Amino acid sequence: MYEKCSLALASHASAVFATMTRRRPDRVETRPERPGGQRTRFTLGERVDFRGENPEGARVNGFFICAFDTLEKAVLFARDVADYLGLPSSTSKVETDNYVGEFLNVVIGLTCSAWADHGLRVDFSPPERLQEHDVGDVPESGHCFRVSIESEGHYSATILLFFLPEAAAPLG
């Protein structure tokens, strides 16, 4: 189930990336990672938590993080998204965060709809800004996937998907 979920995320993220930036991704990579393994740091990111129920009725919790390794790359990305949305270009860190959040909202909305088609039903929180965050600070167990999207050497977006350990009891 987790691999299918990560592949749905990669598919929707790369399509939204191409649409909102008007840049065709040169590379889209999805790979599993060990929680608590190699630490990943980033300069700017947005986090969205989710919780719900899998097809067997067990609780599922986790979160997405959309991250950029440098502020300059995040600003370039945000400017392309702003242009697509017909809004003023990003000139501040707050505007950059907002445009990255808009990208992530669309990606997560489409991804969660795809998950529902496979019986995984989740609700998610609004994006939360993260800065200078260490992804290695998450729990040591669960399932983690990294989706990396690169375009023409301009910038890359990394979306981390964490499924925390499932609870046996269904939601009440």
| Domain assignment present for 170 | no
Model pLDDT for residues 25-57, shown as the tens digit of each residue: 998 989 887 765 555 667 778 888 999 998 888
Domain that holds residue 27: 2-163
**Strand ranges, E, within the chain:** 27-33, 41-53, 59-68, 121-124, 128-134, 143-151, 155-163
| Domain assignment present for 113 | yes
| Domain assignment present for 169 | no
Number of separate domains in the chain = 1
Six-digit token pair at 29? 């990579």
41-53 and 128-134 strand pairing: antiparallel
The CATH number of the domain holding residue 64 is 3.40.1550.10
DSSP 167: B
pLDDT value at 91 more than 80: no
| Domain assignment present for 168 | no
DSSP 135: G
pLDDT value at 172 more than 60: no
| Domain assignment present for 83 | yes
Out of 39-43, 63-67, 115-119, 134-138, pick the least confident: 134-138
| Domain assignment present for 138 | yes
Q: Across 106-115, 122-131, 150-159, 160-169, which has the greatest mean pLDDT?
A: 106-115
Model pLDDT for residues 161-171, shown as the tens digit of each residue: 888 866 544 43
**For position 16, what pLDDT does the model report?**
94
CA distance 81 to 95: 11
Six-digit token pair at 27? 């590379």
